Amino acid sequence: MIELELKLSAEDSAFREEVRRFLAEKFTPELRKETELQTGVFADGSLAAQWHRILFERGWAATGWPEEYGGAGFTATQQYIFNDECARAGTPNLPVAGVRLCGPVLIEFGTQEQKDVFLPKILSGEHVWCQGYSEPQAGSDLAALECKAERDGDDFVVNGQKIWTTHAQFAQWIFVLVRTSREGPRQAGISFLLVPMDAPGVTVRPILSMSGEHEVNEVFFDEVRVPATNLVGDENQGWKVAKFLLLNERGSGSGAAYLKNALGLLNKIIAADGPFSVAASDPAFAGRLAEVEIEIAALEQSEHSLLEAIRRGEMARGDTLASVHKLHVSHIMQAITELEVDAIGAYAQIDQGPVLFGKAEASAHVPPRAMTPVAHYLNMRAITIFGGSSEIQRNILTRTALGI
């Protein structure tokens, strides 16, 4: 695997060693085994809660938040190092709706009361959040949403539906884009609202993906009353909030390390014994594997260059950079999962039910290496769709290049 060294100061090098010692102690073999069986994009509820608690106790649950709100207050370099080391170690990929999405939105746009009520509980993990953006007719074209909220005294009354809502089955709260006006452009009549999941009229229905995972859901709102104090930002100005949030969803800065960990799991499959282990001696497979390694190295180099520019104060991450990053990570991850399936050979054709979904121990005739690749491959078909489809990202880049 190609390794690129990031130039670090003595202080940052010491911080990296501190993170490595923490992970060596806290990311136990038991946690590692459970994490490697995860096939969804994010760790399941119990595993996510356990790892979040470990990070919270260390003060590292919200590395991107300012210290005044309980965040770690990391510099850009420290945040990159922390994310990089966690990804290299293969720690659970925590759901992003609370700490990475809703938290920064409240810090940027929330009232003082909203910050006081919600931020401590997001930080501690007491409140698990989910994201109410997409609808059956409004996915990548988010401005087409129809879920509406009508003002009634001190409340909004919400009616409508959201779909592909990740981990809604675990959440206590959902942040929702709702239509509060039909005047002017579509984006002008959208608001950002915080809704408790136990409010009367909220219904969650599971959507089982073709990988066998219950990761996403439908959420229905039937005359749900929400206090107007739960409005974030100004009424009808939710599009501004939504765009701010999407930048945090699309840009991570540590995609190369995340992909390297996935590549490491692939190499474990390749190295495993078994009658169908033909990948290691197949020149065509080796060529595809080398292409992936080169692409990851190129992505890592671009991340290092961006970090250097940020450290020099020359630039900050924006729409275009976030789109480029998401496109690269999505493309490479799908390539890795395709190699995973090819590496297990004929076992990819066997319907092992929960075994292939990583929910049970392998049977006598199915080796451990064949437990998760098919489910992982199927689940990652969605990586080029969620968070803004690849087509949307290319449109953003095209408009930027053409100045339109």
Q: Would you call 85 helix, strand, or coil by DSSP?
A: helix
Give the H or E element holding residue 124.
Answer: helix 112-124
Dihedral sign computed on CA atoms, order 268, 270, 273, 274: positive
Parallel/antiparallel/unpaired status of strands 231-232 and 190-196: antiparallel
Dihedral sign computed on CA atoms, order 331, 337, 340, 346: negative
Q: Residues 299-305: contacts with CB within 8 Å, 24+ apart?
A: 299/255, 299/256, 299/259, 299/325, 299/328, 299/329, 299/332, 300/4, 300/256, 300/257, 301/4, 302/328, 303/80, 303/253, 303/254, 303/255, 303/256, 304/4, 304/6
DSSP state of 187: G
CA distance 45 to 67: 27
The one catalytic residue among 34, 135, 213, 249:
249
For residue 99, which amino acid is it?
V
DSSP state of 192: E
135-154 core/surface letters (b: 16 or more CB in 10 A; e: else): beebbeebeebebbbeeeee
Q: Is-catalytic flag, 146? A: no
Q: Which two tokens stand for residue 62?
A: 């919200």
Largest pairwise CA distance in the chain: 70
Parallel/antiparallel/unpaired status of strands 148-152 and 202-207: unpaired
DSSP characters over 334-369: HHHHHHHHHHTGGGGGS--GGGTTTSSPPPTTS-GG
Answer yes or no: are the C-beta atoms of 155 and 174 closer than 8 Å. Answer: no
Catalytic sites, residue numbers: 249
